[in-house]
Amino acid sequence: MAEALAPPLPDDIDQLAETVLALACDRELRLAAAESCTGGLLASLLTDIPGKSHAFERGFVTYTDEAKNELLGVPLVLIREVGAVSEPCARAMAVGALDNSRADVAVSITGFTEGAPGQPAGLVHFGCARRGGATRHRVECFGDVGRAEVRLSALRVALALLHEGLSALDRAA
């Protein structure tokens, strides 16, 4: 049985999303997301806010290694060598989202929501790429708190990275 997010998204996540979209709208910038373990939740959230969702340019749900390669251009050899849940893969996913969109800032999310041998539950890597700027990385270990909580925590981090990426464009100008 699928695990639904109940209750609806926490208020802090909605507020973060509204803040990020308002910042993007004010600067006439567009956003993209490359998601794996969140399965499109970030894209869904960013397109669900009336009057601001136009700042979201596109999303990529790349759950498999092949999807990361085909849609984002992440080299399969990279994934085989370091794994899909890694800093190099998260960075490549964010850059791939920029390269395959008209966005100004892109964020990527790749991680393990559940544990398995060699796969620590709650380990999530993030990338944030912006046109004309450096690609940043962040890693979080949320722990074995369940799929829903890992995904919610990942949304918070991804939104914070988008906010930082948009703010960095101001400082670079």
Residue-range domains of the chain with CATH:
11-172 (3.90.950.20)
pLDDT at 1: 35
H or E segment to which residue 106 belongs: strand 105-111
pLDDT at 8: 76
pLDDT at 147 over 90: yes
Split at pLDDT 50, 70, 90, the class of 109 is very high
pLDDT one-digit tens code per residue, 37-62:
999 999 999 999 999 999 999 999 99
- Summarize the confidence of residues 104-132 as an average pLDDT: 96
Residue type, 125: H
Say what the pTM is.
Answer: 0.94
Split at pLDDT 50, 70, 90, the class of 81 is very high
pLDDT at 87: 98
pLDDT at 170: 60
> Tokens 């894209």 appear where?
43
pLDDT at 121 over 70: yes
Residue 7 neighbours by CB under 8 Å, 6+ apart = none
Contact criterion met (CB below 8 Å) for 84 and 68: yes
pLDDT at 9: 86
Orientation of helix 87-99 relative to helix 65-72, angle to 10°: 40
Chain centroid, CA 63 distance in Å = 12
User: Considering only CA atoms, which of 113, 108, 156, 126 is closest in space to residue 11?
Assistant: 156
Torsion region of 129: left, alpha or beta (phi above 0 gives left; psi -120 to 50 gives alpha): beta
DSSP conformation class of 116 = B
pLDDT at 169 over 70: no
Tell which wins on pLDDT, 134 or 171.
134
Instruction: Report the C-alpha gap between 125 and 110 in whole angstroms.
Output: 5
pLDDT at 5 over 70: no
